[in-house]
Amino acid sequence: YCTMDDFELDGKTVLLRAEFNSPIGPDGKILDDKRIRESAPTIKELEDSKVVILAHQSRPGKKDFTTMEEHARLLQRYIKQNVRYVDDIFGSHAKTAIVEAEAGEVVMLENVRFYSEEVLELAPHEAAKAIMVKKLAPFAQVFLNDAFGASHRSQCSLVGFTPVLPSGAGRLMQKEIDSLTEALKGGGEVVYVLGGAKVDDSISVIRNVLEKKIATRVLVTGVVASVFLAARGLDIGKPNMGFLDKSGLSGEIPRAKELLRQFGEMIAMPCDVAVNKDGKRVEVNVKQLPTDYLISDIGHETIASFSDIIRHADKVILNGPAGIFESQEFATGTRDILMAATKARFSVVGGGHSAAAVEEMGIGDKITHLSTGGGAAIDFLGGKPMPAIEALKAAKKRMMGPVG
């Protein structure tokens, strides 16, 4: 793929797909702006270009699905260029803002997932026909993709511009690819720790890393663990099954069951959990399930045994929190597991929420690579094809023209 070194960018209009998807609290404030901060070097380097940023925040239907206004405000803190947020993606307001901007200015467009075609997974040649691409491409001379965190998606803002514009990777994309490629070298005891609430992605990853013999052990925490406990036939209790139903995750139980049948002993589940009893942390051994309360963390015994496995691993790849770490009572699992990861010979932590916890704990320098990618980092390490990176590679081939 091409990088920023391959283009003359001064004075040009650069369409930049950034990854600003961030954890957002109930008050609408961004809890951790790491992804925005990490994008700053790319944007600063474009100080003599007109930069038009496309990015997403969450997914339709989720509580944190919102506008990019706050992201634009935060970005302004980290770069010298003036950032103008426009509440439009490719309509007349967006076009006017792009035309009126000068070199050295940044136009932050609206959440691309407000637009229905964006949430489809399309091949680049199909994505190139999307209205967003047709409307925006004529305004830019170069497309840069810096959204490593979304590079496992094949959505039109990620793969639709590469067939029609000279395209390359931004600095963050380049750094992530370099570090994670390095992470894939060597063997030994490789432990994947999967938590958080993106159970569908985690299950695909578990299958991938176990089938390809990349991981020697998988530890499940967070909501992923609840799904696996249910898949093992345990009654996790009404509030927990209700939560899985409400989040559309109960459909993952059969997939988890199949994995347990195939790889049973390689997948370690919690032996105890912590439930939220009127705001208090109460430890419950899984043998005592069902519970009438919401499972909100892994239990103390599990924390001890998982930490031990992690500390002794050659490589630990960790994605997603072990519990509701925003609440003091239920942050122990996430914190202790991350502390254990700092002791492993090599550690990769991915996922917006896990990265936020690492930053909050101030242990970023003890983690080998703190990725801005959650599912993307994990898919990359699992050897899955990364559509947005493949699209950049195809764009380079196209730009070089036919050989011979």
Indicate the annotated binding residues for substrate.
35, 56-59, 113, 153
Query: In the window 384-403, what residues touch ligand 3PG (CB under 6 A)?
Result: none
Please identify, using beta-carbon distances, which residue of 150 and 227 lies nearer to ligand 3PG. 150
Check residue 195 for interaction with ligand 3PG (CB under 6 A): no
Cβ at position 303, least distance to ligand 3PG in Å: 25
Judge whether 341 and 11 are in contact, CB under 8 Å.
Answer: no
Stretch that binds ligand 3PG, among 74-82, 148-156, 165-173, 206-214 (CB under 6 A): 148-156
Please identify, using beta-carbon distances, which residue of 149 and 160 lies nearer to ligand 3PG. 149
Please identify, using beta-carbon distances, which residue of 67 and 141 lies nearer to ligand 3PG. 67
Instruction: Tell me phi and psi for residue 165, to 5 degrees.
Output: -125, 150
Query: In the window 45-64, what residues touch ligand 3PG (CB under 6 A)?
Result: 59
Binding residue (CB under 6 A) for ligand 3PG from 196, 375, 382, 387: 375
Stretch that binds ligand 3PG, among 189-197, 260-268, 270-278, 370-378 (CB under 6 A): 370-378
Cβ at position 19, least distance to ligand 3PG in Å: 6
Please identify, using beta-carbon distances, which residue of 59 and 280 lies nearer to ligand 3PG. 59
Cβ at position 111, least distance to ligand 3PG in Å: 11
Longest dimension (CA), the chain: 72
Judge whether 382 and 209 are in contact, CB under 8 Å.
Answer: yes
Preceding amide of 290 cis, omega within 30: yes
C-alpha radius of gyration, the chain, whole number: 22
Check residue 374 for interaction with ligand 3PG (CB under 6 A): yes
Q: Which two tokens mark 290?
A: 């069902």
Stretch that binds ligand 3PG, among 36-44, 46-54, 149-157, 264-272 (CB under 6 A): 149-157
Q: In the chain, helix, strand, coil percent, each to 5?
A: 45, 15, 35
Q: Which residues, 6 or more positions from 380, have their beta carbon under 8 angstroms from its beta carbon?
A: 151, 152, 176, 177, 180, 373, 386
Check residue 280 for interaction with ligand 3PG (CB under 6 A): no
Please identify, using beta-carbon distances, which residue of 333 and 352 lies nearer to ligand 3PG. 352
Please identify, using beta-carbon distances, which residue of 286 and 317 lies nearer to ligand 3PG. 317
Stretch that binds ligand 3PG, among 96-104, 269-277, 326-334, 368-376 (CB under 6 A): 368-376
CB half-sphere exposure, 53, CA atoms < 13 A: 35
Residues of the binding site for ATP:
326, 351-354
Number of H helices, E strands in the chain: 16, 15
CB half-sphere exposure, 380, CA atoms < 13 A: 33
Report the amino acid identity of residue 341: A
Stretch that binds ligand 3PG, among 39-47, 94-102, 169-177, 374-382 (CB under 6 A): 374-382
CB half-sphere exposure, 134, CA atoms < 13 A: 7
Check residue 323 for interaction with ligand 3PG (CB under 6 A): no
Instruction: Tell me phi and psi for residue 268, to 5 degrees.
Output: -95, 130
Other beta carbons within 10 Å of 276: 20
Q: Which residue is nearest to ligand 3PG (CB)?
A: 21
Check residue 196 for interaction with ligand 3PG (CB under 6 A): no
DSSP structural state of residue 24: B
Check residue 352 for interaction with ligand 3PG (CB under 6 A): yes
Per-residue x/- marks for ligand 3PG, 19-38, CB under 6 A? x-x-----------------
DSSP structural state of residue 17: E
Residues of the binding site:
35, 56-59, 113, 153, 326, 351-354
| Distance, CA of 254 to CA of 167 (rounded, Å) | 41
Report the amino acid identity of residue 378: I
Check residue 149 for interaction with ligand 3PG (CB under 6 A): yes
Check residue 134 for interaction with ligand 3PG (CB under 6 A): no
Cβ at position 198, least distance to ligand 3PG in Å: 6
Q: What is the DSSP string of 276-288?
A: EETTEEEEEEGGG
Q: What is the DSSP string of 82-99?
A: EEEE-S-SSSHHHHHHHH
Judge whether 299 and 284 are in contact, CB under 8 Å.
Answer: yes
| Residue numbers at the binding site for ligand 3PG (CB under 6 A) | 19, 21, 59, 149-150, 153, 352, 374-376
